[in-house]
Structure 1
Amino acid sequence: MSDATARENLPARLRVLVYSSNAETRTRVKSAVGTRPDPVLGEIDYVDIATAAVVIEHMDAGEVDLAILDGESSPVGGLGLAKQLKDEIDPCPPVLVLIGRPDDRWLADWSRAEAAIAHPLDPMRLGRAVVDLLRQHSVHVDGVSQQR
């Protein structure tokens, strides 16, 4: 199947939730990834969220293809929130956590997040991780790749 055929059969837009209590962090994430990080996946619509309660509402509603959660958020950190989402939502979309430093990787593992990127954010690593997670969490139905 060609990239053009695959593109035609995918949802027109993917929804990526970005949670941080820091508006600048949310802006950096969206700027680093962009709206079309991969030609096959399609365009990304961002759900920009500053509070944990709103994250839970969107995740419970099943409106999200990928969640990016800032572990440095306050008062509710993204690592604990990731763990809660993974424990309570089945199936839970993939979660990428932003960690304060590389040594915090063990916390990301504890949270059951599928990926972790350390601050300061490297746009190339973040973009690649987002694309990888979105691609890994698609299913093939009748030979056509579709998001779960």
Structure 2
Amino acid sequence: MSSATDVTDTTSMPATVVVYSHRPEVRAAVRTAVGRRPAADVGPVTWLECETGDDVVATVDAGGVDLCILDGEAQPTGGLAVSRQLDQEVVDRPAVCVLIARQPDRWLAHWSRAEGTLPLPIDPLTAPGVVADLLRARAQRPAVRR
């Protein structure tokens, strides 16, 4: 006889999230708004911080990243460019969420192939839901073989 506790729910497994911005206050705001567990069925989240686009690419290349939250306003390389680079260079890239300062920039996020957007400043009421949805979708996505 099998019980419900015997079934592994992949959405409740730990998640690794990269947050990228050249500004430490933006990285801290994202971590604070989302928290360690964005939803009851998602997490706990392990945060990895990156200050440069090259750091993001190297971290993703190392593997084990489930989601990247990229600051579209980051300098010198914006999160939109990093998102596009990951899409073109990484076979099984993590889900991507781009932080945008202006809602009209959502088309740029679409161009960059990001699955989600969050407006700046970060809204702690909506950010956990967006992150949880992206992590759920990532957990449901079949792995790509290299």
Common topology (TM > 0.5): yes
Q: Shift of residue 30 of structure 1?
A: 0.2
In the alignment, which residue of structure 2 is the partner of 1:61? 62
Q: Any runs of at least 4 consecutive aligned residues in structure 1 with deviations exceeding 2 A, and if so which? A: 1-7, 9-13
Contact 1:16–1:47 (CA under 8 A) maintained in structure 2: yes
Q: Shift of residue 131 of structure 1?
A: 0.2
CA distance in 1, matches of 2:6, 2:37: 15
Name structure 1 gaps, 5 residues minimum. 142-148
TM-score by length of 1: 0.86
Q: Secondary structure at the match of 1:55?
A: helix
Over the aligned positions, Cα root-mean-square deviation in angstroms equals 2.3
Name structure 2 gaps, 5 residues minimum. none
TM-score by length of 2: 0.87
Change (3 A) 1:117 1:140: closer
Instruction: Kindly provide the CA deviation profile for residues 93-131 of structure 1, in whole angstroms up to 9, marking residues without a partner as x.
Output: 100000111011111011000001121211122111100
Contact 1:6–1:40 (CA under 8 A) maintained in structure 2: no
Change (3 A) 1:98 1:3: farther
Identity fraction in percent? 41
Instruction: Kindly provide the CA deviation profile for residues 30-52 of structure 1, in whole angstroms up to 9, marking residues without a partner as x.
Output: 00000011122230000011111
Contact 1:4–1:40 (CA under 8 A) maintained in structure 2: no
Q: Secondary structure at the match of 2:15?
A: strand
Contact 1:15–1:45 (CA under 8 A) maintained in structure 2: yes
- Normalized per residue, which structure has more strand? 1
